[in-house]
Chain A
Amino acid sequence: MSPLITVLPVTALPAAAGALTDEGLTSTAEAVLFWTLGPLMVLAALALLFARKAVHAALAVVFIMISLAFLYVAQGAEFLGVVQVVVYTGAVMMLFLFVLMLVGVDRSDSLVETIRGQRAIGVLAGLGLGVVLAGVVGRAAYGPATGLAEANTPSNPEAVAHLIFGEHVLAMEIVGALLVTAALGALVLTHRLRLTTKVGQREQAERRLRGGGHPVSLPAPGVYARHNAMDVPALLPDGTPLETSVPRVLRVRGQEADAREYAARIDRVLAGGWASGAGTFTSDEDYRGELGGPVDGTVTVRDADGPVADGPAADPAAPQTHDEEDAR
């Protein structure tokens, strides 16, 4: 080994992380860390037990797992600390969150007891288990702790690697096979057979055309230069109103404007109505009031009628006659 490597403080961190006193007690810093994280972890575990929403429970578990990683590193198990963060918080809990999103975040737990007395028995059993475990584990005599300073040479990951790939290499291989099997199992479990043929964009378009429906978008409403509000039906070239041009909601509500009025007006224009005065309207006031223009404002009316007058009835005499009509 070259002198450079021996000089480098490779073992300094592990030795400091899990260092114990001669009586097998931890350092004060580790005690502070434990007493900070320990109660918080228990609180988070209780949050898992009592949280109504599954997402809150998942976040509490994430906190517990990160705290455990801290404790592992403090105990001289740096490799496990990193693996804990990567595997548990990084993969497992994210998988949990994904499934929560898939299954529905808002799905709260039902509080109805299906088995009578289940909750009381469960609390009792949990408390009993906790007391028994803590009692056994806490009261047993372990003798002074050895500490990992010796076992962690030259460093914790290296020592663990020697064990995993030396003594436990068969278990490692089997675990690899297990992981592959688990991934395949998840694929098979979530696989769904397609019962109907896949409907893509092409199939959808073909079906729409074959069904004889409206293949393109519906015509826009409004008689331009006369009235372009949403509730006015568009007019076909021959002056017939097109019901489908008005939005369906307005039609259902009965809020569309009277198509016949507009059609009649067009008819009148087509038939030279302004010139002859042979329209179907009872009075001109009605028409102008409907247009929204001032009742005596002949200019507005004539402007609005301008493009329509380009039709067969567009002889230069028409506006003049109109004025005379209004004057009466």
Chain B
Amino acid sequence: MSLTHYLVLAAILFAIGATTVLLRRNAIIVFMGVELMLNSTNLLLVTFSRIHGNLSGQVLAFFVMVVAAAEVVVGLAIIVSIFRTRRSASVDDVNLLKS
């Protein structure tokens, strides 16, 4: 098995994550779609690091993980505060600025 299979798997996971972001309404599930995309990118980085025999890809994946953790903390705090004021976690209901 060549290493390209890992790359294709990462691409498929990324596409599914992007589709989740496009289709789902629940803000938390949308957020999980973003996490899936980040994870698939990490798989891509790790695989490329192995293909090239260079650990920089793994270091980059590590930083992606840390930034993703920070992003999750802030994002979930935003979701919770929106839920407090609007009683809803649906991305469609956040149209306060519309009218």
Instruction: Output the nearest chain B residue to A129 by Cβ-Cβ distance.
Output: B15
Which residues in B have their C-beta under 8 angstroms from that of A164?
59, 62
User: How does the 8 Å CB contact mask read for B42-83 relative to A, with 1 for contact and 0 for none?
Assistant: 111011011111111011011101111111111011111101
Contact call A129/B12, Cβ cutoff below 8 A: no
Which residues in A have their C-beta under 8 angstroms from that of B7?
137-138
Interface size on B, residues (CB 8 A): 72
User: How does the 8 Å CB contact mask read for A121-136 relative to B, with 1 for contact and 0 for none?
Assistant: 1110111011101101
Interface size on A, residues (CB 8 A): 90
Contact call B9/A41, Cβ cutoff below 8 A: yes
Contact call A103/B28, Cβ cutoff below 8 A: yes
What is the distance, in angstroms, from B3's C-beta to the closest C-beta of chain A? 5
Given contacts A99-B80, A148-B50, A179-B70, whether A125 and B28 have CB atoms under 8 Å apart is no
Partner of B4, one of A122, A137, A168: A137
What is the distance, in angstroms, from A317's C-beta to the closest C-beta of chain B? 75
**Which of A101-134 touch B at CB < 8 Å?**
102-104, 107, 109-110, 114, 118-119, 121-123, 125-127, 129-131, 133-134
Contact call B89/A107, Cβ cutoff below 8 A: yes
What are 22 A-B pairs with beta-carbon distances under 8 A? A26-B3, A45-B36, A46-B16, A58-B32, A64-B13, A64-B36, A64-B39, A71-B6, A80-B65, A83-B62, A95-B76, A96-B28, A96-B31, A109-B24, A126-B18, A126-B19, A130-B12, A134-B8, A134-B15, A175-B67, A182-B69, A189-B80
